[in-house]
Chain A
Amino acid sequence: RKEVEQDPGPFNVPEGATVAFNCTYSNSASQSFFWYRQDCRKEPKLLMSVYSSGNEDGRFTAQLNRASQYISLLIRDSKLSDSATYLCVVNNNQGGKLIFGQGTELSVKP
């Protein structure tokens, strides 16, 4: 079983749609969780950290469920510019290494 798993998609949605991505992790001792965004052929960049209480940044909401060992990312009112691959990242607490999921591709259409 992979340490961090995501639905690879692709998710094809119309502009204005709400879309949600889920990510599961296997190490129950993991403490830190993040969502990164990667545009085609570009480097990944931090989108947002995921806190235990959940957090929101504009149209983006991230949530953590420790009991079920998954994190989620909700994007409301999708924009064309949201088209990218979204990477779930977990700090597995083994020497501070960050483990990446395989990424979920999102395509927002007009």
Chain B
Amino acid sequence: DADVTQTPRNRITKTGKRIMLECSQTKGHDRMYWYRQDPGLGLRLIYYSFDVKDINKGEISDGYSVSRQAQAKFSLSLESAIPNQTALYFCATSDSGGGGELFFGEGSRLTVL
């Protein structure tokens, strides 16, 4: 089983719908992140959390919210999805003392029609 698991892996939805992407990890890491990837733009940070009580906005947090339900779980919500939120979303974890290695989930491909 993967150390970082994202669900769903693929989702097609309509404009205005609420969507939740879930991430769980078995690595025991404190830090969790949500990134989105768009062609030509690389990965951009949406939100990150360094422990259960810590939530921080990344560079593109507008239109998104997150919840850190437990050390192992970090979910991303789109309250009212819009087409330009169509992207590949990655959850990642890191150890607080790890310097910089991120461990990614396999990604969630979201299409908003």
Name A's B-contacting residues (CB within 8 A). 4, 8, 32, 34, 36, 41-46, 49, 87, 89, 91, 95-103
Given contact pairs A43-B90, A43-B107, A100 touches B48 in the complex (Cβ within 8 A): no
Q: How far is the CA of A49 from the CA of B101 in the complex (A)?
A: 9
- A13 vs chain B, min Cβ distance (A): 21
A45 neighbours in B (Cβ, 8 Å):
104
Q: Which residue of A lies closest to B41 (CB)?
A: A102
Q: Which residue of A lies closest to B101 (CB)?
A: A46
* B100→A34 contact, CB < 8 A: yes
Q: Which residue of B lies closest to A95 (CB)?
A: B56
Residue of A4, A36, A49, A102 ringed by the most chain B CB atoms within 10 A: A102
* B42→A87 contact, CB < 8 A: yes
Q: How far is the CA of A32 from the CA of B35 in the complex (A)?
A: 19
Q: Could you list 18 A-B pairs, sorted by A, with CB under 8 Å?
A: A4-B42, A8-B40, A32-B100, A34-B101, A36-B102, A41-B107, A42-B107, A43-B104, A44-B43, A44-B90, A44-B104, A46-B101, A49-B99, A95-B56, A97-B45, A97-B58, A100-B35, A103-B42
Partner of B100, one of A8, A87, A98: A98
Q: How far is the CA of A89 from the CA of B100 in the complex (A)?
A: 9
* B90→A87 contact, CB < 8 A: no
Report if B51 contacts A (CB, 8 A).
no
Residue of A42, A46, A89, A96 ringed by the most chain B CB atoms within 10 A: A96
Q: Which residue of B lies closest to A32 (CB)?
A: B100
Q: How far is the CA of A42 from the CA of B107 in the complex (A)?
A: 7
* B102→A46 contact, CB < 8 A: yes
* B104→A97 contact, CB < 8 A: no
